[in-house]
Structure 1
Amino acid sequence: MDLLEYQAKALFREVGIPVLPSQRIDRPQDLKGLRIPYPVVLKSQVYIGGRGRVGGVKFVQNTIDAIAAAQAIFNLPIMGEYPKALLAEAKYNAEQEFYLAVVLNRSIRRPVLLGSQQGGVDVQAAIDRIQHVVVEQAFSPYYARRLVLKMGLEGKLINLVSDVIEKMYQLFVENDLDLVEINPLGVNSEGNVMALDGKVTVNDNALDRHPELAALLQGSPSEPAPLGSVVAMEPEGSIGILCNGAGLTMATMDLVYQAGGNPASFLNIGGETRWDLSPDVLQTRLAQGLDVMTQSKQVRVLLVNLVSGSVSCVQLAEVIVAFLKRRVWEPRGISEIRPDTLITHTVRIPQLVVRLVCSDCGQAKAQLAAAQVSIVESLDDAVAQAVTLAKSLKRK
């Protein structure tokens, strides 16, 4: 589960990672008591990426402008999510922006350090240039320095960025995290570094050892963790990927690339090792994920790859069938049309390729077949089918 930016930066501050003066804003009126000198930046606190592109980040020069901007941001849904808080932060003039991360690679069971001289909103475009260093033994400053040198940094930046990476790793280990990411790490004209945005993903299985993190993740004991973020990939891609679990998502995306496909975006709706999981959570998240992923006109083929031990294939198939019925036939102007002349219209949805690994798959196949969707048993076959469909649609 992800932390919000202001929560991640609170952890950064505890381990000495440089962050800007900031203040949580729960309502626009709070800006009258702002303790940070202007100009400031106001950031929507949501779990979705790409806030700046849709108006979720605004720079303001005074209190009047700040209150107006805050009202706009609070009323701006980003992929269906409204912020419950904003982050007001001092403005920072960065001349360079780097990408840094410490991530748990589950396939090799080792932490991996990631870094690139190209950070910020364009990091996805330069994903092939991200350097990595596998932490193969007990961590030492050697690993951080090795990554910095692979990134091509020189002079004063070698020590400054290495120090940030060491503190990121400290935070990663002490809190049993899955991911610590800084994007971007800003560098100003004086050569100083600053974590301008941050993301922290908590390992759900370790929450019993970190009650302070569990308190951050849930506003109340009954509140489910938020849906994950849609991650944009290739600008020319046309395949969307929807999976449950980070490892399954990454493996599926890798297979799509290997098969010659171009992923447009992917969404991890969360695995079944979550501490707050109830039997209906996966169904709810699947419904939400289908709605979110099919909003993009870029996604022409949606590859759904789900593995479940607690929810049957029948239950997941019911969600998919209900989604198709809801999206294919939607009323147009109900309030203006008499009941005896109700008009419906077809809504464009991507071609679905579905792979389900769970119980009662035979009955689920019949359900989806009635909706003209087939279940593909082999992941390799599902990927091949998705790639072939995407290429054929591109030629049309």
Structure 2
Amino acid sequence: MRLHEYQAKEVFADAGVPVPESRLATTVEEVVEAVADIGFPAAIKAQVHVGGRGKAGGIKIATDEDEARQYADEILGMDLKGYTVEKVLVEAGVDFENELYVGITMDRGEGEPVAMVSTEGGVDIESVAEETPEAIAREHIDPAFGFHPYQARKVVYDAGIPGDIAGDIASILSTLYDLYESKDASEIEINPVMITADREVVAADAVMNIDEDALFRQPELAEMEDEAAEDDLEAKANEYGFDYVRLSGNVGIIGNGAGLVMTTLDLVDHFGGEPANFLDIGGGAKAERVANALDMVFADENVDAVVFNIFGGITRGDEVAKGINEALEQFDEIPKQVVVRLAGTNAEEGMEILNTDLVEVEATLEDAVQQAVENAQEASQ
């Protein structure tokens, strides 16, 4: 479960991390009231689970009431990378001289959490990691012993943080790890930590992802789940019991089993496409469940084509084929081209059942993905 920025900042503030004064607003008038209380300049920030909000027009700095009203009207209701903005965070502007990055995540290669600090804050940290990895200092943490203060100081020193704020940054990093551990987080970061002219540190953004399987231990965070749900698709995924993650591409992906779906995502990228989602329908999926999955992917306006990748173990190919037929026969015109690859249990029977007037069938996963990518590219032209 990914918290919204305003939710994560509530958690951070309760733990002692300095954050700007802010208020949540859902209407233009609420924005105007908020900036009147907070003062100018004020940031008006779309609350959606996407990166690059600023570049996409989802963050504006208002210097007076007229600008606040104008920006609120522009941002509320806007389509931001496929998400409708229904609420904004109105936040006191920070006069900063520098931006840093701090975060805690799981290094799956090492099998340990890792603390990261960089002077390249305010930009996409994934790009920094790819283009200039030396700009990110890292310190692995043995969860059996915790994050020692000397480790926090070491990673801050390794990142080249100036001495007059190094202690504050180390303190924030230690607090983030305490939250990471105590709140069952899978990722927690601040990008950027802003440094003011008075050498104060302020968390200008907040990211916090929680392990959904641990929510029974986090009743306060569990109460945020409904508000953290991004849109109708995510709500529908919860209703259907699907493992679903919305992405930014246009190739819809449905599969059974997380590893199989991840492989499909990788192949879409390999063949020059961009995945629109991760959707795992699970094992033993019956026809109704398959139809629900197609209904979800079709409902995503970003999707231009769909690839259905099923390897039958518990899941039977003939049941999957029935579900695909049932879902597609409801339409007078198929909204997106669907490519199907079946293998494993009752795959041959499923191939015979599939209505090839409604779907394209490929014998191999590579062929299916390549065809879906081509379909998406043609549809988007």
> CA–CA distance in 2 between the matches of 1:373 and 1:32?
55
Structure 1: stretches of 5+ with no match in the other structure:
233-238, 296-301, 329-351
Q: Identify the match of residue 114 of structure 1 among 102, 108, 116.
A: 116
Structural mapping, 1:1-396, within 5 Å: 1-34=1-34, 35-105=37-107, 109-128=111-130, 129=133, 130-136=136-142, 137-139=144-146, 140-219=148-227, 223-224=235-236, 228=245, 230=247, 248=259, 252=263, 261=270, 269=278, 282-288=293-299, 291-292=301-302, 294=304, 313-314=320-321, 325-327=334-336, 361-362=347-348, 367=354, 371-374=359-362, 376=364
TM-aligned CA distance change 1:132 to 1:356, over 3 Å? farther
TM-aligned CA distance change 1:154 to 1:368, over 3 Å? farther
Q: CA deviation at 1:68?
A: 2.4
> CA–CA distance in 2 between the matches of 1:56 and 1:116?
25
Give the 3-state SS of the residue equivalent to 1:126 in structure 2: helix
8 A contact 2:262–2:278 mirrored in 1: no
8 A contact 2:265–2:278 mirrored in 1: no
Q: CA deviation at 1:113?
A: 2.2
> CA–CA distance in 1 between the matches of 2:29 and 2:253?
39
> In the TM superposition, what whole-angstrom CA distance separates every residue of 1:240-263 from its partner, at most 9, and x where no partner exists?
795889985996599679xx9597
8 A contact 2:3–2:228 mirrored in 1: no
Which amino acid counterpart does residue 22 of structure 1 have in structure 2?
S
TM-score of the pair, normalised by structure 1: 0.69
Q: What is the RMSD of the two structures over their aligned residues, measured on CA atoms?
A: 4.5
> CA–CA distance in 1 between the matches of 2:264 and 2:137?
19
> CA–CA distance in 2 between the matches of 1:358 and 1:44?
45
TM-aligned CA distance change 1:62 to 1:220, over 3 Å? closer
Structure 2: stretches of 5+ with no match in the other structure:
239-243, 283-287
> In the TM superposition, what whole-angstrom CA distance separates every residue of 1:201-232 from its partner, at most 9, and x where no partner exists?
11111111112112111159995579745369
8 A contact 1:102–1:111 mirrored in 2: yes
> CA–CA distance in 2 between the matches of 1:251 and 1:243?
10
8 A contact 1:47–1:228 mirrored in 2: no
